[in-house]
Every structure is written in structure tokens, then in C-alpha cells.
Amino acid sequence: MARDLISSLEVMGHDVFVFSREPKSENTLEYSKLSSSNFNLIVNMSGGHRTSAELGYVGSILRLGEFMAEVALEQDAHLIHLSSGSCLRPDSILTSSTPLASPPYRSPYQEAKVSLETLHRTLRAKQPIADLRIFSFADKFFLRDSTYLLGAILESKKAGRQFEFSGDEFIRDYIGGRELASAIISACEDLHSGAFNLFSSQPVHSGELVDLLIEAWGCDIAYGEESRRSCKAYFAEPESLLRNYTPRSSLEVISEAFRLNSSELWS
């Protein structure tokens, strides 16, 4: 997700500096250097699923969140945290005012996101902090690098294997780097402070997603609707809270992500 966001921000003409606990390239700086710099916007992308099994994960994410909040306050910078729709109580209709999930948490990842949003609520009296909740994401690099549903389907297509769609049906909101970048810039320009759900203009049903990937991209997917027991909703009600946030439909986002990987699909 970070690579897609950085690419989108740079296309929009913004300079991006990347900080990490363990820099792995000369273009990435250590977190310690963040406090010696000066920025008008700091984006906290910490807390990915892949590291959520690490010992002390929730505590480390909270400490990092506190550090970033301190740096943002010192630099008079707007702080934006990339949160998740999974931090909300699983009501049928999700809005920005839907209560946060409560213990017992489904995963350390969910606990970390809830903990960070709770921390930010206590700090907003001093500084503007926006929690941007992502429900599902699809874009060029994310599909290549992730093991989530779309990444797994892409990998199966590249390997010439059939993908077996297991589990329940779903209705989901997918956004891409373009939507995420525009939400960040809008929140920064208007000094928004609060929690915002990043919805798509139209969520997608799993059956529609499968039809698109079979018909448009030639994916071999085994999908038996008759075997599904339920349909899980994971999308947000559209709310005009961010002035310049005009998302595409979930199908448009997914189709574009596969188009950007088409050279590998047909090689």
C-alpha cells in the first residue's frame, strides 16, 4: 500500500519522505531523524497485518503513535493515521460515528487500530489528527506484494492455476492509491480532525468481482454461489466529509489494478 500511495502523491506533485524502524534502502530514513526534520504533514502507516503476530505488537504500535503525535505537535504538523474499517463495531451500516470495537478483540491488528484511534481522541484538543479508515485496497504494487484475496488471484493467474474461492460471499469497499492520496491531501488542506471512512462510490459483491476477473482478465476461478452460507458486509455509508474526496467504484479500482499488472498476466 505504501508504494502505491507514494506513487500517487508524487504524481500529484508532492514531495514524500519515508521513515522506518528498519530502513532497507538509501531512500528510507530512520524514525529518529523524523524529529530533526520539519514537515507540514506526517502520515502514520504503522500497524500492518504481517507484523501483528510479533510479541509486544500492540504496545510497540502505541509507542510509535505517541512518538509521531509528539513530533507533529512540536512541528505544528497535521498528523494522519491510516486506520482500518476493522476497528469499528461490526454493525450493518458503518459511518464515521459507528462505535469502535470493544474487547475481546478479534486480532492484535484490530486492538492496535482501536488503541491508536482512542489515543488520538484524547490528543485532538491539542492538535489536528485524522484517522482515515481503509476497508479494502487494490492497486498495482499492493496486488503484487500482498497475499490477500486479489493478490492470491493474481498469483494464481500468473502461475496458470485455478483459484478456488472459499468462504462466504461479501460486499466490500475497495479504494486505490489515488483515493487514498486525495483523502490525505483533502484532510490536510482543510485541517480535518476526526475519523473518516474511505468508502468507494459503489461497493462490489464477491460474485461481481469474480465475473470481472474471469471475463476481463481470463482468471480461472472456482466460485460456487450455492455453497455460500452468508454474505458479509464490509463497506461504509458515503459521507461528504472530505471536500475533494471523489472515489471511483470498487470495480473500477480493481479493474485498474489488474490493468496495471497486465504485462505480467499475459507474459
Using 50, 70 and 90 to split pLDDT, how confident is the model at 264?
A: low
Q: Which tops the pLDDT comparison, 68 or 92? A: 68
Please give the model's pTM, rounded to 2 decimal places: 0.91
Query: Is the predicted pLDDT of residue 146 greater than 90, yes or no?
Result: no
Q: Which tops the pLDDT comparison, 123 or 53? A: 123
Peptide bond into 90 cis (omega under 30): no
| Element housing 5 (H / E) | helix 2-11
Q: How far, in Å, CA of 116 to CA of 111, rounded?
A: 9
Structural domain including 12 reads 2-265
State the CATH number of the domain containing residue 204: 3.40.50.720
The pLDDT tens digits of the residues spanning 184-208 come to 999 999 889 999 999 999 999 999 9
Torsion angle defined by CA atoms of residues 30, 35, 38 and 43, in that order, rounded to the nearest 10 degrees = 70
Q: Which of 62, 63, 71, 81 is nearest to 29 (CA)?
A: 71
- What is the predicted pLDDT for the residue at 243? 86
- What is the predicted pLDDT for the residue at 140? 93
The pLDDT tens digits of the residues spanning 40-80 come to 899 999 866 555 556 688 888 888 899 999 999 999 999 99
Task: Quote the number of domains for the chain.
Answer: 1
The pLDDT tens digits of the residues spanning 244-259 come to 899 999 999 999 999 9
**Inter-residue contact 250 to 204 (CB < 8 Å):** yes
Q: Which tops the pLDDT comparison, 25 or 1? A: 1
Q: Pull the grid cell for residue 203.
A: 461497493
**Inter-residue contact 196 to 183 (CB < 8 Å):** yes
Mean pLDDT over 114-127 rounds to 93
Query: Is the predicted pLDDT of residue 240 greater than 90, yes or no?
Result: no
Mean pLDDT over 119-136 rounds to 94
Query: Is the predicted pLDDT of residue 2 greater than 80, yes or no?
Result: yes
Mean pLDDT of the residues in the chain: 89
- What is the predicted pLDDT for the residue at 228? 65
Query: Is the predicted pLDDT of residue 91 greater than 70, yes or no?
Result: no
- What is the predicted pLDDT for the residue at 51? 56
- What is the predicted pLDDT for the residue at 81? 96
